[in-house]
Structure 1
Amino acid sequence: MTDGRRAGEVAGVQSYAARVLENVAHVLVGKEAVTRLALAGILAGGHLLLEDAPGTGKTMLARALAASLGLGFRRVQFTPDLLPSDVTGVSVYRPATGEFEFVPGPIFTGLLLADEINRATPKTQSALLEAMGEGQVTESGITHVLPPPFVVIATQNPIEHEGTYRLPEAQLDRFLLKLSVGYPTLEEEVRMLDRLQGAHPIDTLGPVATPADLLMARAAVRAVRVSDDLRRYMAALSARTRSHPQVALGGGPRASLALQGVAQALAALSGRAFVLPDDVKAAAPGVLAHRLTLRIEARLAGTRPEEVVADVLRQEPVPAEPLPAGATL
């Protein structure tokens, strides 16, 4: 691909993203940063995990993104008695034909909201693994392909809350990004009260893009240039998490791939056809922290994975990244 064509496609992604971010802002007040990262994760082709206290806007962010992107939307409330087939679907015997017919579950949609995923049992949580990783569901030995684009946004309350199950490492690793919505500032909360005094704007929020637009934007994001030095930098960050003294299990190759994808998306959102070290550093906390298993002594000392990621970013030398010929910031 020529540099001119790449730049043109990235400009299209930037315009597309600006429409989506502006549309979501009609519903969520003061959440531009987390919305930007969430959109970057979707553009990178990944799934998102939102962890925060109840009532902070996790579900509303998912609904607003689905509406803005023009994606079909289904919500599943995860509970301890939820079965895997309640999510993926089940084969039903039809006496009229004498055959079994597959009845698709709510996972067959554009954007699936797995609400409070850590309230379901590990067996039900793992039912999402194949769909998130392979884009398909296998039931009774038959594989059913999920139409693209397919996005999972899962929400969970902090693990110390009662009635929750910790997500296993294999499940966590399937999420490209783990983000926190956070509480609004006082002024943002006042604006929210004013805006939501009447009908909720989510009820009238319309799409500003189509699923086909998302697929084209993803292709453009994958073409964003990444230099060899930056690839080495991202791989080195993942490797450093594996050797960090406070970490029992660090990020693997999938973490490096996720870091590259989100960095490419953030570059495209900024209107650049090339990745800078700042894109990698902005992506690193959301990509790496949830993939780290800390040693027991670190957990007892109250160390958080985000602190380890910050330490890794301080330790790893940042490559001097020259701009491509003719490029400007």
Structure 2
Amino acid sequence: MDHDAVADKVHSLSNLELAALLCLVAEQHCIVEADPSQLDAVAQELQVITTNVFGLSSAVLDCSDKTTVDHFGNDLLVDDNGDDSSYFSHVPPHSRLSIANIVIAKNLNQSRSQVHIQALELIRNKRIYTRNAVHAAPKRFVFVALLTPDSTDQLDVHLRDQIFISHYHQPEDGLPNLEDAGYVDDDAASLASVVRPSTSKEGRKALSFGPDEISSLTKRIPHIRFSSEVRAYLQNIVVFMRLHRAVAGGVSPQATRHFELLVRALAPLHGLDFVTPSLVALAARKIYPHRIVLTTPENERSLQWGSDIEAVRQMLDGVVVEDVIDDVLAQVEVPL
């Protein structure tokens, strides 16, 4: 594989395309956040990306408090030809159905806890039970929880910990694949065109990643080199994150494993066979936002040594997870 050519292609990907590619390469899953007005359009964009960029099948689950475990299990199945089973006038034999390569669970936070547990089972064991069969996930499988920005913490904490990365879709990033396919309505088109992508329609067609390219990138991950200084930098970020006064939890062993995996997966996408400090900092901003649980003034640990609760309350006022990550990255010394 021409590593420079891959890096050039990656550089031309949209942020959503890059998030999907990272998950496919690392064989992991993600949370995508979007403003409520854009949620449906982003779901469509992800479907077109799945088809046009990766040549894979997709299924969209529109979750609510009425979504049952049966609905969840059936709605992520597609026909072996890649068509969503919900569009069939006649339901095909069960042997023709399989789990889609990319499952987009819109508003998953609104579903019941039993559905969250089912999603966790699907992510961990790569299979789903329906009333009629047991369906195994395909080799290339990504579960995407598509949520509004204020709803991620409503997901089950164990489910969040199993999800690899999170990404917020900025409205100004646009919906280039939807526009090329002619699926964007007037309101979405005007919003998506605030910043036009620099890649032409013809150029975007050349940005596809086939199974061989994805497999090649996956195989490179274990061979990415860490210097002792960069590895110490990563570990220091983990320690500082865990000890930060505003953090109550979420800096788990699984998060640390995902942290290193993401850094390794990012390197070949940048044409590198080694890890740089900038890749570590970039990975921290994708690994921790959906995991970190902020403390309350009453539970802030310094109260055990006599801190004043009003002073603690003022210190924590307005602090969000992104502030914690920025604070930690500013405190940890970057290796030269």
State how far apart, in whole Å, the 1-side matches of 2:324 and 2:233 are: 17
SS in 2 for 1:289: coil
Q: Do the aligned partners of 1:44 and 1:218 also contact (CA within 8 Å) in 2?
A: yes
Aligned counterpart, 2:282: 282
Query: 1:43: Cα distance to partner?
Result: 2.0
1:310 is matched with: 326
The letter for the 2-side match of 1:289 is P
Is residue 2:68 matched to residue 1:83? yes
| Structure 2 letter corresponding to 1:159 | D
CA distance in 2, matches of 1:278, 1:178: 18
Displacement of 1:316 after TM fit? 1.6
- Are 1:89 and 1:105, in contact at CA under 8 Å, matched by a contact in 2? no
Aligned positions, number: 281
Distance 2:95 2:117 in 1: 18
How do 1:1-329 residues align onto structure 2 when only pairs under 5 Å count? 9=1, 11-12=2-3, 15-16=5-6, 18-19=8-9, 22=12, 32-33=14-15, 35-56=17-38, 57-67=41-51, 68-89=53-74, 103=94, 108-138=99-129, 144-159=135-150, 166-184=154-172, 192-193=192-193, 208-297=208-297, 301-320=317-336
Q: Pairwise CA RMSD of aligned residues?
A: 3.6
Moved more, 245-254 or 293-302: 293-302
Whole-angstrom distance in 2 between the partners of 1:107 and 1:313: 43
Aligned to 2:181: none
Q: Given the two structures, how large is their TM-score scaled by the length of structure 2?
A: 0.71
Shift of residue 52, structure 1, vs aligned partner: 2.2
Alpha-carbon separation, structure 2, partners of 1:195 and 1:159: 25
Amino acid at match of 1:245: R
Letter of the aligned partner of 1:81 in structure 2? K
The equivalent of 1:327 in structure 2 is none
Change (3 A) 1:21 1:39: farther
- 2:335 & 2:206 partners in 1: Cα distance? 43
* Cα distance change on mapping 1:246 and 1:195 into 2, 3 Å: closer
Distance 1:268 1:185, change over 3 A: closer
CA distance in 2, matches of 1:273, 1:36: 19
**Larger mean Cα displacement after TM superposition, 204-213 or 42-51:** 204-213
Is the partner of 1:303 in helix, strand or coil? Answer: coil
How many angstroms apart in 1 are the aligned matches of 2:137 and 2:253?
25
- Is the Cα contact below 8 Å between 2:69 and 2:118 reproduced in 1? yes
Contact 1:51 1:158 in 2 (8 A): yes
Counterpart CA distance in 1 for 2:222 and 2:74 is: 32
**Is the Cα–Cα contact under 8 Å of residues 62 and 153 in structure 1 kept in the other structure?**
no
What percent identity do the matched residue pairs reach? 21
Determine if contact 2:69/2:114 at 8 Å carries over to the other structure. yes
Deviation sequence 1:246-289 (CA, Å, 0-9, x none): 11113112112211222222221211111101001011111112
Kindly state the Cα deviation for residue 148 of structure 1 after the two structures are TM-superposed.
0.6
User: Shift of the alpha carbon at 1:193?
Assistant: 4.8
CA–CA separation in structure 2 for the residues paired with 1:122 and 1:205: 40
CA distance in 2, matches of 1:275, 1:215: 20
More helix by percentage: 2
Q: How many Å separate the matches in 1 of 2:194 and 2:244?
A: 47
Unpaired segments of 5 or more residues in structure 2? 76-92, 177-188, 298-312
Change (3 A) 1:192 1:144: closer
Which amino acid is the alignment partner of residue 37 of structure 2?
G
- C-alpha displacement of 1:209: 3.1
